Amino acid sequence: MIRNPIKWPNGARCACAITFDVDADSLIHIARPDDGHRRLYPISMGRYGPNSGVPRILETYRRLGLKQSFFMPGWVMEQYPETVEAILVGGHEIGHHGHLHEDPAEQSAEEQTYWFERALEVHRRLTGSTPRGYRAPVYNVTPEVLSLAVQHGFTYDSSMMADDLPYRIDTTSGSLYELPVHWGSDDWPPFAHFDEIGYKMPVMSPRRGLEASFEEFEAQYEAGGLWIGIWHPFLTGRLARWRVVEHWLEEVLSRGDVWFAPLEEIAAYAASQEAEGTWQPHREPAAPYTHPVLMEKKR
């Protein structure tokens, strides 16, 4: 069912990572640069993540013995250093997620370099190390930002969607793994209701909203693939939704053949399999097109 399958460690049937993008209130400040600071309701909605969501999530991970991945914008790390500390104390990974959740696709190459490196400086200062992984805000990864990640020694990106398993992408500066995401396992469509940034969707019930992610997981479990949840503490960290996730985690872990790991470990494992010659990832250029693809005019 999956081409070029990989043998996961310790006889695991599939690999799994819940990744939380801790955007907090960066979203309203970047969307409304002039008056975002006065919009207290969206600020408070974002602040729920560091205040209540992340501690709840970390407590569950501690109880279940899980180490997972978090992605944080640099500005959020500076605003919420105790959140950074709590995530690190739990042994989890913190990946690069821009500085103020700025969209790389809207920026010049120079601007992308400036913001990428500004956030990188925050990571080094607050965590003592360089992140291994990058996830573009709103998945809007560009050829330039991928090259930056390679230049700074990152081993993976997690913003693109072209395969079921880790695959290799070649940038002009070298290559890294792509640990693919997908909207089907993202909590934004079922749960985000955020008029100020252009989302006004009916909010689904906790169980229904999470069902999509869980079905994606079951398909990967059956096929021996990799499932990545792309969730947000201010959405899925809410009490009723997290209760559903906790029950799901307990059931999945009781199967005994699911490998939960931070993305950096999954990328390192893929690299080890490739180096041993036991597995060959799908490989493609990070940017398949170098010029705009013009539509032929209809006559």
21 binds Zn ion (CB under 5 A): yes
CB of 107 to Zn ion, least distance (A): 16
Smallest gap from Cβ 97 to Zn ion, in A, equals 6
**HEC assignment per residue over the chain:** CCCCCCCCHHHCCEEEEEEEECCCCHHHHHHCCCCHHHCHHHHHHHHHHHHHHHHHHHHHHHHHCCCCEEEECHHHHHHCHHHHHHHHHCCCEEEECCCCCCCHHHCCHHHHHHHHHHHHHHHHHHHCCCCCEECCHHHCCCHHHHHHHHHCCCCEECCCCCCCCCEEEEECCEEEEECCCCHHHECHHHHCEEHHHCEECCCCCHHHHHHHHHHHHHHHHHHCCEEEEEECCCCCCCHHHHHHHHHHHHHHHHCCCEEECCHHHHHHHHHHHHHHCCCCCCEEECCCCCCCCCCCCCC
Q: Which stretch binds Zn ion (CB under 5 A): 19-27, 145-153, 261-269, 283-291?
A: 19-27
Give residues 30-89 in contact with Zn ion (rule: CB under 5 A). Answer: none
25 binds Zn ion (CB under 5 A): no
Q: Is 186 in the site for Zn ion (CB under 5 A)?
A: no
Find the binder of Zn ion among 6, 14, 23, 93 (CB under 5 A).
Answer: 23
Judged by CB under 5 A, the number of residues near Zn ion is 2
**CB nearest Zn ion: which residue?**
21
Residue 188 C-beta: closest distance to Zn ion, Å: 9
From the CB of 25, what's the least distance to Zn ion, in Å? 12
CB of 138 to Zn ion, least distance (A): 7
Q: Give the interface with Zn ion as residue ranges (CB under 5 A).
A: 21, 23
